């Protein structure tokens, strides 16, 4: 199974690089400099990490988004064996709570239901199933079968992520509005 996880991770990295390359080669609008961002600086980094505009427009969505992304970051560090005993429980709780809220929002709000595609629900369910299976492996049903379920869901996520709308971080960094030349 470790070979499959490693191969899926290599596929994930290759897919991200391919997607970024295709994006950077795509013709841009007038005044957009090809290549990496040239403006934004510290404010662009703050916006990308803290979602200030989202806080202004929808504080409850900001909270769920921060919980999910913070939990994801904590669990990525824990999977790399960086303070796993400190990060696993709060990371899992934050990620599961944030995902549950984001999924519930799509199910409950009629406006969100109207604009949501089936793939939106499937991607959220895949993330939630992966987080729940990891939590189950650690605290409820430790054993090889739980680990295999968690790893299998992780492999599926690695294979789907580069080609789904879940991969939005490179888009924030490579956004044409961050590469517009200003006089």
Sorted by where each begins, the domain ranges of the chain are 2-178
Lowest mean pLDDT among 9-13, 86-90, 91-95, 178-182: 178-182
pLDDT value of residue 91:
96
Separation of alpha carbons 27 and 105, rounded Å: 36
Per residue in 109-130, pLDDT tens?
A: 999 999 999 999 999 999 999 9
pLDDT value of residue 42:
60
**Tally of residues, the chain:** 183
pLDDT value of residue 40:
54
Burial class (CB in 10 A: 0-12, 13-18, 19+), 10: exposed
Fold assignment, 2-178: Fumarate Reductase Cytochrome B subunit (1.20.950)
Do 182 and 40 meet the contact criterion of CB atoms below 8 Å apart?
A: no
Q: What is the DSSP letter of 96?
A: H
Lowest mean pLDDT among 14-23, 42-51, 88-97, 152-161: 42-51
Q: What is the DSSP letter of 116?
A: -
* Nearest alpha carbon to residue 130 among 152, 100, 159, 145: 152
What is the pLDDT confidence band of residue 175, given thresholds at 50, 70 and 90? low
pTM listed for this prediction? 0.82
Per residue in 25-69, pLDDT tens?
A: 777 666 555 554 545 556 566 666 777 778 888 899 999 999 999
Instruction: Answer whether residue 183 shows pLDDT above 50.
Output: no
């Amino acid at each position: 199974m470790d070979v499959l996880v490693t191969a899926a991770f290599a596929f994930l990295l290759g897919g991200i690089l391919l997607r970024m390359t295709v994006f950077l080669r795509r013709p841009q609008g007038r005044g957009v400099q090809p290549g990496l961002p040239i403006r934004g600086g510290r404010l662009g980094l703050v916006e990308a990490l803290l979602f200030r505009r989202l806080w202004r427009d929808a504080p409850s969505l900001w909270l769920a988004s921060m919980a999910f992304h913070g939990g994801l970051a904590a669990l990525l560090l824990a999977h790399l064996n960086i303070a796993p005993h400190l990060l696993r429980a709060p990371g899992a709780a934050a990620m599961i709570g944030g995902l549950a809220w984001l999924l519930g929002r799509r199910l409950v709000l009629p406006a969100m239901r109207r604009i949501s595609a089936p793939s939106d629900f499937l991607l959220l369910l895949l993330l939630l199933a992966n987080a729940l299976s990891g939590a189950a492996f650690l605290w409820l049903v430790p054993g090889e079968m739980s680990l295999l379920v968690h790893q299998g869901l992780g492999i599926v996520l690695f294979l789907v992520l580069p080609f789904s709308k879940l991969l939005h971080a490179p888009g924030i960094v490579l956004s044409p509005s961050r590469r517009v030349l200003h006089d």
